Amino acid sequence: MTTLSIDCMGGDHGPRVTLAACRHFLEKHADAHLLLVGLPDKLAGFDHPRVTLVPATEVVAMDDPVEVALRRKKDSSMRVAIQQVKDGKAQAAVSAGNTGALMAIARYVLKTVDGIDRPAIASPLPNAKGGATTVLDLGANVDCSAEHLLQFAVLGSALVSAMQHDDNPSVGLLNIGEEVIKGSEIIKQAGELLRSAGKSGDLNFYGNVEGNDIFKGVVDIVVCDGFVGNVALKTSEGLAGMIGDFLKQEFSRSFLTKSAAIVAYPILKALKNRMDHRRYNGAALLGLRGLVFKSHGSADEVAFEHALNRAYDAARNNLLDRVQARLAHVAPLLGASAARPAEAVAVATHP
């Protein structure tokens, strides 16, 4: 039985979406058990033989500062859900709540694994090959060192290996050009580290890639800092929305325009479905001593169910063990950061 803990209060819609998605998820996974965490009155009435209701007295709002979520709301549904993973009662936690708060709480409660300074947010983005390119970091770390980017590459490789059953996924370093001489000093240094990891067989490093290569599917994993990654994520979501809006507008125009739209509709609809960000919802918070998945805050039932599926697959495919195994191989390249205990890089502010 695979057990997930769910922050039912998180996100823009809260229990109205999360509970419905959980019910759909349970119908499709006979070997899953859910710990539904939230305010008791909001969870009352949800009855299922493979569900346990876990009470929490507080909720982290989408606009709560990290300090408030970490220090003042110690019994929030978000924190209690993550605590279930810490206590070994669940194999993964899922929340659609405040991203900054989720990262801070998860890092404080679970701590980072040895050799990882900063957790990263990783998620698949659709590509032209009909699959997805995993990109990290997607917003957790705006300023990154070369060593951090190497760590992200290791984490991303473990994630894709577990989720897609590919033992040797290819890794690309996002840059302004494919040439080794291009990019900032940090990117050049990261390239050297990644090439060393490639030569030693610890990573399948492809080389530098550009932004359009994400959507071409040139590599399985693209590594970048959180600022650039978040821009790429929001761009892909915006493009899918634009296609949907275009279809609606064209069907409301003149007869000739409608006729042309009808002819093009199957192709455009297929493209829209392929790029539908709901299908790729559920970003992994990698580098922690436990599995935590972040759903988009505005997720509907379909999107949140996809986040549950990703957490379930990660737990079933032993993602944590794969992370540890890859870190052990690449430890010499990680240098001093690999030698430091995880507690030394945990969140400094004690709640």
Predicted local confidence at residue 209, as pLDDT:
96
| Domains in the chain, number | 2
H or E, element range at 19: helix 15-28
Count CB neighbours of 18 within 10 A.
32
Q: Are residues 180 and 275 in the same domain?
A: yes
Question: Within a domain: residue 333?
Answer: no
Q: Are residues 125 and 22 in the same domain?
A: no
Q: Are residues 295 and 176 in the same domain?
A: no
Count CB neighbours of 44 within 10 A.
9
Cis status, amide bond into 137, omega within 30 of 0: yes
Q: Are residues 90 and 158 in the same domain?
A: no
Q: Are residues 218 and 127 in the same domain?
A: yes
Predicted local confidence at residue 344, as pLDDT:
33
Q: Does residue 269 contact residue 243 with C-beta atoms inside 8 Å?
A: no
Question: Within a domain: residue 332?
Answer: no
Question: Within a domain: residue 330?
Answer: no
Predicted local confidence at residue 329, as pLDDT:
77
Dihedral, CA atoms, 208, 209, 211, 213, nearest 10 degrees?
-170
Question: Within a domain: residue 334?
Answer: no
Dihedral sign of CA atoms 58, 64, 66, 71 in order: negative
Predicted local confidence at residue 264, as pLDDT:
64
Predicted local confidence at residue 277, as pLDDT:
67
Q: Are residues 110 and 125 in the same domain?
A: no
Provide the CB-side half-sphere exposure for 138 (13 A, CA).
Answer: 29
H or E, element range at 181: none
Q: Are residues 157 and 237 in the same domain?
A: yes
CATH, residue 142: 3.40.718.10
Report which of 118, 237, 216 is spatially closest to residue 172, judged by C-alpha positions: 216
Q: Are residues 178 and 224 in the same domain?
A: yes
Question: Within a domain: residue 297?
Answer: yes
And the tokens for 153? 């590459």
Q: Are residues 202 and 267 in the same domain?
A: yes
Q: Are residues 89 and 21 in the same domain?
A: yes
Question: Within a domain: residue 331?
Answer: no
Q: Are residues 271 and 293 in the same domain?
A: no
* Alpha carbon distance, N-terminus to C-terminus of the chain: 33
Question: Within a domain: residue 328?
Answer: no
Main-chain phi, psi angles of 158, to 5 degrees: -65, -40
Q: Are residues 113 and 126 in the same domain?
A: no
Render pLDDT for 79-121 as a digit per residue (tens, 0 to 9): 999 999 999 999 999 999 999 999 999 999 999 988 888 899 9
| Rounded alpha-carbon distances, angstroms, from residue 215 to 222, 246, 306 | 11, 21, 20
Question: Residue 193: which domain range?
Answer: 120-279
Question: Within a domain: residue 203?
Answer: yes
Spans of the chain below 70 pLDDT: 238-277, 335-351
Q: Does residue 51 contact residue 33 with C-beta atoms inside 8 Å?
A: yes
